[in-house]
Amino acid sequence: MTRYEVLEQRDTYTIYTLNDKETGSSVILCPERGGIAISCRLSGEELFYLDPETYTDPDANIRGGNPVLFPICGQLEGGRYEWNGVTYPMRNHGVARNRPWEVITTSEDGEASVTLRLQSGDGTRAEYPFDFELLFTYALVDGTLHIRQTYHNRSDSAMPFYAGFHPYFRTASKKLIYGTDATRYLDYNDNVVKPISGGEIDLHGLKESVALLDARSSEITLPGPDGSGRVRLSYSDAFKYVVLWQVDGKPFVCVEPWMALTGELNRQDELFMLPAGEALEARLSIGYERA
């Protein structure tokens, strides 16, 4: 029996399922809907929340799964920013999550993986005047999801961006203990920096997100969907922040690695610039340890 397999099927959209039979793990990708992973079942446990109505509506932002954020994370002031004297509109979280990605390769050799590509075009240039190519490989290996990312600058000038991810994790509680060495967070509900005590952060009742500010370790954990076990995210040092967000009455919390905080393309205080013709490699892994 082959341990790893990649299955393609049509279900509203064309989807790809990565299977690891030995660990009872699977990941489902929808390239047409922003190159998103809509399901992440590790060791038999579904980790992701998904609102099916937002998924099947091609004009809606998907609420669930793990949306890709590029070239910005979060919002811009007035939904706009200025670059070289020109004002551009840009929707929340950028241009990648609402556009179809192209399938480049699949593999069942030592892993179940699919490599997706998004390239700039006239539509993206109206919001973001740079030529780029994103290559993301989603690989399921030994019951862990790895997302290997390459951000290419195909422009003839340096390209600003701060990418991120927006995974929705299933949970019944909004008051969780996170495994993080961060000691402070910025609460966007009142714009006050607050201490973290024992890793516990209560998101219940918060409309806006909070951002962990001073983590030194590039990983964070949270309880599994039923409160037992641990979900573990590990990521490249380029992801300097983790943002937490929830919606009252919905059984999820978002734990989001970001390269910069919301509005950075307006402020430009710590804006990363990728030189012309160069590429940035990054990674994100999601694992699950049963109790």
My answer on whether omega of the bond before 71 falls inside 30° of 0, hence cis, is yes
pLDDT above 90: residue 291: no
Distance CA 129, CA 93 (A): 16
Instruction: Give the per-residue pLDDT at 253.
Output: 98
- The pLDDT tens digits of the residues spanning 191-216 come to 999 999 999 999 999 999 999 999 99
Phi, psi of 52 (to 5 degrees): -65, -30
Instruction: Give the per-residue pLDDT at 177.
Output: 98
Residue 141 pLDDT grade (very low, low, confident, very high; cuts 50, 70, 90): very high
Q: What is the mean pLDDT of residues 26-51?
A: 98
* CB neighbour list of residue 194: distance below 8 Å, 6 or more residues apart: 184, 185, 186, 187
Q: What is the mean pLDDT of residues 122-138?
A: 98
- The pLDDT tens digits of the residues spanning 2-31 come to 999 999 999 899 999 999 999 999 999 999
Closest CA to 168 of 266, 43, 255: 255
Mean pLDDT estimate for the chain: 97
- The pLDDT tens digits of the residues spanning 221-238 come to 999 999 999 999 999 999
Within 10 angstroms of residue 257's Cβ, the number of other Cβ atoms is 26
pLDDT above 90: residue 1: no
- The pLDDT tens digits of the residues spanning 57-106 come to 999 999 999 999 999 999 999 999 999 999 999 999 999 999 999 999 99
- As a whole-number percent, the residues of the chain with pLDDT over 70 amount to 100
Closest CA to 177 of 125, 230, 130: 230
- HSE (CB half, 13 Å, CA atoms) of 291? 8
Q: Is the pTM of this model over 0.85?
A: yes
- Could you please report the per-residue DSSP string of 133-177? EEEEEEEEETTEEEEEEEEEE-SSS-EE---EE--EEE-S-SEEE
Instruction: Give the per-residue pLDDT at 89.
Output: 98
Closest CA to 105 of 137, 77, 75, 130: 137
**In the β-sheet with 4-11, what is the strand arrangement from edge to edge?**
4-11, 13-20, 25-30, 36-42, 45-46
Domains, the chain, in order of start with CATH, read: 4-289 (2.70.98.10)
